[in-house]
Structure 1
């Protein structure tokens, strides 16, 4: 197998999983971790990194599953998608989806509290619900928001076995933002003849860490605004190499 072929397959897998958006997940996990401690002290790095990787796996699995369900639509409307263009085979995409979810659960079993793994079952159900029905039922945008909310819940439960009121506030703030983002993205898809002149959806995706930054800045210190901005900049930089929308 040539290096070029390997890079092509790797690139297709990364695009399938929308890895450019992963900084948004990492910021969600970091926010939930800090808010789970009553004193707001820095959590231990190891479990937070483990959870960031675990939730990244769920995100990647969800994105891959999304393209599997949307294949017929993508072949007509979004032929650049990895499966639709033939850059990655159906079997490989299915295997990547299952492996991502399995790895996510495996990591959660190593977390301080098993409650996170139980909550992740709800996360996978919500992800599947959105992916399976979102083309036919606009109300599934609430499932998309719910999936992002559950990132905070899973993190908090895995770290402490409970969900504090502050975690709930951050989760609801982000879920509300994702609800607005999903509505904007759906409006663009349904008015293809009048696409946004400016990349609104990619920028809204990249701005998600700033929502966490604002919440943490209000609760702790304005320094968190810079952390949120850094997360957004990282996501936007990644989108220039791998599409995140």
Structure 2
């Protein structure tokens, strides 16, 4: 229909958010690998040549303990709560601006006045920023915990410095993937919730589920594609399932009638 404006997905915002988190994780990775290379790596190779196993373990564990403590401090310095808050705030503001602009274009096309005052938004934004700060700092904390496990396991099992370093390099990659997933998951969820609030407050009572149309769409969501859902029924919102990039195409009453008659 001529008066329909498609619901868009903020892919660039998602990608930017993922990059920002990943950049900080990469920085922590560089710091931790450098500390490993400067301290424990050389000691491992020297101590493995000695014959007194008890001395070897005690000596390396002492170095390992100091390394782990230092890495935790440096990680907090590289990615503190203030850094996480800045990233999350910029990200939420970006998604909010994107959503509001898109929805207002949809409303204008349907002859509905654009949204102005939004009393619900302040608390929602505050909550989502706090939630995303938690996700970001959890990534950091999970990284340092796994770093600690790799170091202790390697020291006590007699692992070579090269094998331990390879595990640490792999850990950075795994952590980056986690950051990308959070960016994708949160973007779909936040966009879906914001759009739903704005659609309903503008008097739009239903939507058509629209999937992202690529090979990553899960089968259950593809089966929803093109079907109508009513907000009053409290349905699963597009984008709010984990890692979902589906969107809701809002319908006014005239469009609902046409849809039910098979005219859309």
Q: TM-score, with normalisation over the residues of structure 2?
A: 0.33
Whose strand proportion is higher, 1 or 2?
2
Which protein has the larger Cα radius of gyration, Structure 1 or Structure 2? 2
Q: TM-score, with normalisation over the residues of structure 1?
A: 0.34
